[in-house]
Amino acid sequence: MEKVKEFTLLDFEDVRLFVNGEWVTAASNSYFTLTNPSTGEVVTKIPRGGKVEAKDAIEAASQAFQSWSKLSAYERAEYLLKLRDLMFEHEEELAAIMSTEMGKAFTEARGEVKYAASFLTWYAEEARRIYGETIPASVPNKRLTVIKQPVGVIAAITPWNFPLAMMTRKLGPALAAGCTGVVKPASQSPLSALAFAKLVEKAGIPNGVVNIVAGATREISDEIFENPIVKKISFTGSTEVGKTLVEKSAPQLKKLALELGGHAPFIVFEDADLEKAAEGALASKFRNAGQTCVCANRIYVHENVREEFTNILVDKVKSLKVGNSIDETTQIGPLVNKEGVKKVEEHVSDAVAKGAVVLHGGKALGEEGCFYEPTVLGNVTKDMLIMNEETFGPVAPITTFHSEEEVIKEANDTIYGLAAYLYTSNISRAVRVSESLNFGVIGLNDGLPGTAQAPFGGMNQSGYGREGGHQGIRDYLEEKFISLSL
Ligand code: SIN
C-alpha cells in the first residue's frame, strides 16, 4: 500500500472486529486472509467472527438502542455529520484501503468515499424530516395521529463491490431513524468497514450503536436471522442469496430489503447523440471494472448507427488504462478474484463460440492478479450467456435492433429489473420508452444515475425496497397510529 504515506486508522498487524465499542478478536481464535487482487499478495489476516460475535453485537446494539433512539433527530444528525467530516478527513486512506482489498481503481475509490459520505449528509438532513400525520376524525371527540418510530436493531449485509457506499446507504438512514445495528461486510472487503468503525469511534458515537462483525458468513447471517432482537435486515448481493434470505426471514417475518443482481439493457436509438451515448456506455459498463449491479450488460444499438457507435466506443475502450488499482493513473483495476475472471472468460468464450466478434480485448491479463482486458464484442445474439446473465466484468456486448417496440420487448425479457439506460434526442420517445422499461432505475441519456437523494432499487428478481432518497428511511421506521378519545 504505497499510495498513502501513513496509515492511522488500522493496524494491519492486528486487525480486529468492532463490537460494543471494543476491538475484539474472534472467540474461535481463527482468522481468514485477505489477498490483494492486483498483486496476489496477502494483505493481512482478519479474525473470523461467528455466532458468538454476532450475538454479542446484536445484544450491544439492543442495549444502545435504548438511549440512541431517545436522542433528538437533531442530535443524531450531528453525529452523522461528524462521521461524514471524518470520512472526508481520511478520504485518501479509506480509498487506499478499499483499492487494496478489493481492487477498485484508486481514483474511483476516492469517488466512492465521497459517494458514501453523501448518504450521511442526506440522512442527517432526512432525520429532521421524519414527519408524522394528523388525520381528521369522523366524530368530534377523537383525535387521530400517526407517529413514526425506529424499528429497533437492524443488520446490514454489505457487498464487496461498493464496500463503503453500500454500508452508508444502509447505516445512514438506520442511524438517522434512531436504529442501531450490526454490519456484516463481505469477506473480500472487511477492512473498509473496520476503518469506518474507527471513524465511528472517533465521532464519539456511543458504544453498541454500530458494530462490525466480519467472518463466517453463514454463521453470522444465521444469528442475524434467528435472533428475535433483529427487526430489519438490508442485503445487497446476488439474487440467488437473496432468495435464501427471504426464506430465512419468514419464521419471524423480519423486514427485509433486497438489492440484488441486475442485467441492464443499454439502448442507443438512431436519433441519439452518439458521442454522448458512447461516453455513457463507457461510464456505465467499465465503472469498477464492470463489477456493479447497474452496469450496462447488453448494449442494443439501432442498426443504422451500429457502425458509427461501435467505432466511437471501441476507440474509447482502447484508451482505458489497466493496472494495479493503487496507481492513480489506473482506470481499470483487477477483478475481485480469480472466480470473477473465470466467469468473464466463460461469457466471452461462449459468445465467440456462438459467433460473436472480438472488437477489442478478449482475454485475461498476466499471471499475477485478476486482470481482464476491457473488451468489446460485436455480432452478439440473444442465445449467448452474456445476453442472459450478469457478467460482472469489463465486457461490452453489442447487438442491434430495428424498432422501438422490438427493443423494449428485448430489454424487458429478463428476470432482472434493476437499471436500464436509453439514449435518444426525441423527447416523446424518451418519455414513452422510460415508462415502458420494467426497471427500478432509468438512466435517460445518463450513464451514472445513482445519487444519494434518489431512490435506488429493483423490480422483479432484482429485489425489493428502496435505498437512498426520502424513500430510503421508510423501512427503518414503524408507523404507529394513536387514536385519542377526549
Ligand atoms: C451497485 O451497483 O450495487 C450500486 C451502484 C450505485 O449505487 O450506483
Answer yes or no: is pLDDT of 5 > 60.
no
- pLDDT for position 234: 98
Contact 465, 246 (CB under 8 A): no
Please report which confidence band the pLDDT of residue 4 belongs to, taking 50, 70 and 90 as the band edges. low
The pLDDT, as a whole number, for residue 201 is: 98
* C-alpha pair distances (Å), 72 with each of 23, 122, 129, 226: 28, 17, 12, 31
* Rounded mean pLDDT, 115-143: 97
| Choice among 39-53, 93-107, 359-373 with the minimum mean pLDDT | 359-373
Give the three cell numbers for residue 26.
Answer: 474472534
Report, as an integer, the average pLDDT of 448-474: 97
Nearest CA to ligand 1 atom 8: 450
Q: What is the mean pLDDT of the chain?
A: 97
Choose among 299, 270, 272, 269: nearest CA to 283.
Answer: 299
312 vs 367 pLDDT, higher one: 312
Report field, pTM of the whole predicted structure over 0.85: yes
98, 192 contact by CB (below 8 A): yes
Distance CA 157, CA 193 (A): 11
Q: Does the pLDDT of residue 397 top 90, yes or no? A: yes
Looking up cell 437499471 gives 419
| pLDDT confidence of residue 7 | 74
Q: How far is the CA of 294 from the centre of ligand 1 (A)?
A: 6
Cα gap 372→146, rounded to integer Å: 54
- Is residue 294 within 6 Å of ligand 1 at its C-beta? yes
CA of 134 to the centre of ligand 1 (A): 37
C-beta 450 within 6 A of ligand 1: yes
- What the block records as the C-alpha cell of 442 is 432509468
292: CA distance to ligand 1 center in Å? Answer: 6
Tell me how far apart the alpha carbons of residues 337 and 124 are, in angstroms, rounded to a whole number.
36
With a 6 Å cutoff on the Cβ, whether 162 touches ligand 1 is yes
**Residues forming a β-bridge with 255:** 232
Judge if the beta carbon of residue 167 lies within 6 A of ligand 1. no
Is 293 marked active-site? yes
To the query of whether residue 89 is one of the catalytic residues in this protein, the response is no
Domains, the chain, in order of start with CATH, read 17-260+463-485 (3.40.605.10), 264-451 (3.40.309.10)
Please state, for a pLDDT cut of 90, what percent of the chain lies above it: 97
100: CA distance to ligand 1 center in Å?
Answer: 20
Q: How far is the CA of 288 from the centre of ligand 1 (A)?
A: 10
Residue 2 has pLDDT above 80, yes or no: no
* Model confidence pLDDT, tens digit, residues 149-177: 999 999 999 999 999 999 999 999 999 99
- Nearest-Å Rg of the Cα atoms of the chain is 23
Angle at 339 (CA atoms; ends 286, 96), nearest 5 degrees? 55
Q: How far is residue 46's CA from residue 66's CA, in Å, rounded to a whole number?
A: 31
Residues 247-285 have pLDDT tens digits of 999 999 999 999 999 999 999 999 999 999 999 999 999
Could you give the maximum distance between any two Cα atoms of the chain, in Å?
79
Which one from 112, 219, 293, 467 is the annotated catalytic residue?
293
CA 293 – ligand 1 centroid, Å: 6
472 C-beta closer than 6 A to ligand 1: no
The number of the ligand 1 atom at minimal distance from the alpha carbon of 450 is 8
Q: Does the structure show a pLDDT above 60 at 409?
A: yes
Select which of 101, 259, 373, 467 is catalytic: 259
Give the three-class secondary structure for 428. helix
The residue type found at 484 is L
Tell me the C-alpha distance between 410 and 420, whole Å. 12
Burial class (CB in 10 A: 0-12, 13-18, 19+), 92: middle
Q: Are 264 and 439 in contact (CB under 8 A)?
A: yes
Of ligand 1's listed atoms, the one at least distance from the Cα of 294 is: 2
334 versus 12: the higher-pLDDT residue is 334
Q: Determine the pLDDT at residue 274.
A: 98
The residues facing 358 across adjacent strands are 377
Which DSSP state fits 56? Answer: H
Segment 187-241, tens digit of pLDDT: 999 999 999 999 999 999 999 999 999 999 999 999 999 999 999 999 999 999 9
Q: Which residue has the cell 430489503?
A: 257
Instruction: Identify the residue whose C-alpha is closest to ligand 1 atom 3.
Output: 293
* Interval 302-340: pLDDT, tens: 999 999 999 999 999 999 999 999 999 999 999 999 999
Q: Is the CB of 462 under 6 A from ligand 1?
A: no
293 lines ligand 1 (CB under 6 A): yes
Is pLDDT of 399 > 70? Answer: yes
d(CA 93, CA 4): 6
Does the C-beta of 441 come closer than 6 Å to ligand 1? no
Q: Which three cell numbers stand for residue 331?
A: 482506470
Residue 329, pLDDT score: 97
d(CA 154, CA 117): 20
> Does any ligand 1 atom lie closer than 6 A to the CB of residue 473?
no
- Give me the pLDDT at residue 3, please: 52
The pLDDT value given to residue 368 = 78
Q: Calculate mean pLDDT across residues 17-40.
A: 97
pLDDT tens track for 437-455 = 999 999 999 999 999 999 9
Instruction: Classify residue 90 as exposed, middle or buried by CB count within 10 Å of its CB (0-12, 13-18, 19+).
Output: buried
CA of 451 to the centre of ligand 1 (A): 9
Which band of pLDDT confidence, cut at 50, 70 and 90, is reported for residue 366? confident
Residue 115 CA: which ligand 1 atom is closest? 7
The per-residue pLDDT for 367 is 76
The pLDDT of residue 6: 66
Angle ∠(47,223,178) on CA atoms, nearest 5: 95
